[in-house]
Each structure stands twice: as structure tokens, then as C-alpha cells.
Amino acid sequence: MSVLDDILAGAAEDLQQRMEQTSLDDLKQQASRQHPALDPMPAFRADGVSVIAEVKRSSPSKGPLATIKDPAALAADYAAGGAAAISVLTEQRRFGGTLDDLRAVRGTVDIPVLRKDFITTSYQLWEARAAGADMALLIVAALEQTVLESLIERATSIGLTPLVEVHDEEEVDRAVDAGATLIGVNARNLKTLEIDMRTFERLSPRLPDTVVKVAESGVRGPHDVIEYAKWGAHVVLVGETLVRDDDPRASVADLVAAGAHPALQHRW
């Protein structure tokens, strides 16, 4: 069993428990009481490279990363540093996150919030919207093509912007065929958990010019933002580097400043 398979199995068990506690109708009612979802695409399509800053306590590859007693305060620091959006891990077993983290962040920041989890059902999309998410992660490797297409359509219909994650050429083609307009290339190999930034360089040319390209994993500092930008990234998603930093606000600001370099303007 691969790491992804193991995570998906655990996520499915946890999902079943939540479905027994909260009906889909209840989720839809909760979602209807949320403010309209924020659209991240204008910021992502602006000049330069945008930053999605992540609230992430642990990971399968590194184990515990940070305690993060107050995810809302961390998100506020990210926003103050100039992040265009906040990513919140809500998977509990391997990443130590919860939907409560997402709710707390949503109640604090006024920029788009991404639910980052292992979403395989429309129920989870409704969970995301009910908790105040504006975006939802869909991992191509975890989904059959018909399911991927259905979830992209459902996410869009309820106001969520789907961030569709890919890892290789076949997944790029599947994401494009499914109609994804925001595609994240994860530099982390799902089998070995190792990071190779060149994955983005290899896959970026395969993505249509109309797609917003997100570089996920591998950003350790401003130089990596510029490197990803050279390969065509419009957005970078950064987690581990920020949660381990003593001054996340300043670190985000440094990444944002790198993404605003004059050489990176007018790339659309």
C-alpha cells in the first residue's frame, strides 16, 4: 500500500464518522449561512507570483512540524505579510489538522481560504463550504477521471474554486481534460515523499497558457520563488518553511517581495 493509499483509507474512515454525525442537508444549511465564497483567481492572475501560505502541523514525510496552538493567529500573520490566500490542512491522522482550524482561520482573515485535504466525495466539498472555505484541493492521483470531473463541477457549482493537484504528465493531461483552470504541480513524489523542484519545470510547459500554475512544495526561501517563476509559476504554496519560522509574517513578506520582482511582471 502506497503512502497515498494509506492516507486515503484513514481519511475515508474519518469521513464516515463525520457523515454519521452530520447530514448532508445540515451541511448545505450551514453553507447557505456563509458569506459568498471569495474568488482567488484575480489575485493569482495579477502580475508577479502570489503566495499561498499554509497552516500545517505535521506531515507524513517529516512528522511533527509545529505545535500551532492558534491557527487563526498564524493565518493573520500570513495575511499581514501579504499572502494572497491561506491553505489549511484539515486531515487529522497524518497532518494534525481539523475543520475547526479552517473555521478559526476563516473567522480571522479576509482573503481566500483553501481546504487542503484528501477529498473524494461531494460531501467533503459541502463540508469545506460550510466551514467557510473558498477553495478545495482535488488530488488527481486519488480520483478516477469521472469522479474528478464531477467534483470539479460540483465544487464550482457551490462557489468553491478547485485547486487540482498533479504529479506527472498523465495527471496533467487528466486535469486539463477535466476542465481545471487552477492546477498545482506538487514537487513531492507520493511514493518516495522526496521533493524534486524540477518536476514543475518538466510539467509546466504541458499546461495551457490559460491555466493558473501553482508550484507546490520545495520553497525554502525567496530564491525558490524566483526559480519557480522562471519555469512559469504564477503562484507558490508554502507550508513547512513558514510554520517552522520564528517570524512567519516577515518570511511571507520576503516571499511576496521576491514574487513582485520587476522581471516577473506582465507574464499573462
pLDDT tens string 98-147: 999 999 999 999 999 999 999 999 999 999 999 999 999 999 999 999 99
- pLDDT given for residue 190 in this prediction: 77
Single-letter amino acid code for the residue at 196: D
CA dist 113 and 38 (Å) reads 8
Counting Cα atoms < 13 Å in the Cβ hemisphere of 223 gives 1
Contacts of 107 (CB under 8 A, 6+ apart): 72, 132
Between helix 222-230 and helix 248-259 the angle, nearest 10°, is 30
> What is the set of active-site residues?
54, 56, 116, 165, 186, 216-217
CA 250 to chain centre: 21
Counting Cα atoms < 13 Å in the Cβ hemisphere of 260 gives 10
Tell me the whole-structure pTM to 2 decimals. 0.95
- pLDDT given for residue 266 in this prediction: 61
Q: Name residue, grid cell 512567519.
A: 248
Strand partners, 126: none
78 in Cβ contact with 53 (< 8 Å): yes
Alpha helices, DSSP H, located in 71-121: 71-80, 99-106
- pLDDT given for residue 69 in this prediction: 86
Which run of H or E residues covers position 186? strand 182-186
- pLDDT given for residue 268 in this prediction: 58
Query: What's the sign of the alpha-carbon dihedral 43, 168, 15, 100?
Result: negative
DSSP-assigned letter for residue 192: T
- pLDDT given for residue 265 in this prediction: 67
Instruction: Pick the more confident residue, 239 or 28.
Output: 28
Question: pLDDT band for position 244 (50/70/90)?
Answer: confident
Q: 3-class SS at 128?
A: helix
- pLDDT given for residue 58 in this prediction: 74
Q: What percent of the chain has pLDDT over 70?
A: 97
Strand partners, 238: 53
Task: For the chain, report the end-to-end CA distance as a whole number of angstroms.
Answer: 41
Cα–Cα distances in angstroms (integers) from residue 150 to residues 4, 72, 237, in the given order: 21, 32, 25
Strand partners, 138: 164
- pLDDT given for residue 1 in this prediction: 64
- pLDDT given for residue 66 in this prediction: 72
Least confident of 103-107, 206-210, 242-246: 242-246
Instruction: Pick the more confident residue, 84 or 240.
Output: 84
- pLDDT given for residue 261 in this prediction: 80
Torsion of CA 253, 259, 265, 266, to 10 degrees: -110
Which run of H or E residues covers position 82? none
- pLDDT given for residue 118 in this prediction: 96
pLDDT tens string 146-160: 999 999 999 999 999
pLDDT at 38 over 70: yes
Residue 165's closest CA among 204, 125, 216? 216
Cα–Cα distances in angstroms (integers) from residue 98 to residues 29, 95, 165, 186, in the given order: 20, 9, 21, 22
- Average pLDDT across the chain, whole number: 93
